[in-house]
Amino acid sequence: MSGLERPCTLEELFSAYRPGMEFLAGGTDWIIKNHGKLAPGAAVADISRIAELRGISVEGGYLRIGAMETMTALHGSDIVRRYAAALADAAYVMGSEQIRNRATVGGNVANASPAADTPAPLAALGAAVVIASPCGERRASVEEIVGRNKNSLSEGEIIKEFLIPADDGRISAFLKIGSRSQVSISRINIAVSARRENGLYKEARVYVGTLGAAARRCAGAEAALNTPNFAQKLPEELCGLAAEAIPGRSTLPYKQSALRALAQDICVLLGRRAEEAGCR
């Protein structure tokens, strides 16, 4: 490694940037990926001190979450639990307490692991990803950023923040199944955001993780939630998505079985949250 930069502002970061520079946030994924593998001439920028990448607030009708906010901060925020309960759910069940104290939401999305916990709830919540680079800023959807084990960020780009509509009329939830109840990598996860009206779920957004990508949308599940027998239709739509996403894989029967269980549980959780919010 040829050098370590520790900028305190985005201006300092991009002034010091050179092609091929690695960006280090919480480090929980980066250390594992890069330990002993960095080329002798590699340069690293520790972005953890950049104030513009932090903060949780409501501004202009959006919940703004800085990319450097940790899982612990997300779950502990009353604002996040109010407007983005699914994201708070995901943050709470990601890794150990030590990992949650270090792991950042921006890093979790940028790492683009299909088993990542935050992309599905962010996508279900309609989050916009604000991306910064030496050329300025741009916005993208979560789905545009996460791919198959690789993000779509261009050279020199970093995630600055996430903007989620601050909508009191929507409820959301996230659930996952791993190899054990805690400190576990997702084998399958699901996030739902919707409006509850007359016992049905309108304008639903449903995303599933670990089906070859971290956030795969299920339009059939969204339509099913707006039908009277959604509890029966939802599992079948999710299983159909799995069959399309990973056909022929040995894990398909397991993931379909897990999705049926998650569908039942998330319907119960959504119903409880609708009652708490006073939704019909």
Cβ atoms within 10 Å of 4's Cβ, excluding its own: 11
pLDDT digits 0-9 by tens, 69-124: 999 999 999 999 999 999 999 999 998 899 999 999 999 999 999 989 999 999 99
Pick the CATH number of 54-165 from 2.40.50.140, 3.90.550.10, 3.30.465.10, 2.60.40.2140: 3.30.465.10
Q: How far apart are CA 270 and CA 53, in angstroms?
A: 31
Give the strand pairing for 158-165 and 171-178: unpaired
pLDDT digits 0-9 by tens, 137-159: 999 999 999 977 789 999 999 99
- Which residues are CB-neighbours of 256 under 8 A, at least 6 positions away? 238, 239, 242, 243
| Of 32-41, 59-68, 111-120, 190-199, minimum mean pLDDT range | 32-41
Pick the CATH number of 170-277 from 1.10.10.10, 3.40.50.300, 3.30.390.50, 3.30.70.520: 3.30.390.50
8 A C-beta contact, residue 255 and residue 242: yes
Task: Check whether 239 has a pLDDT greater than 90.
Answer: yes
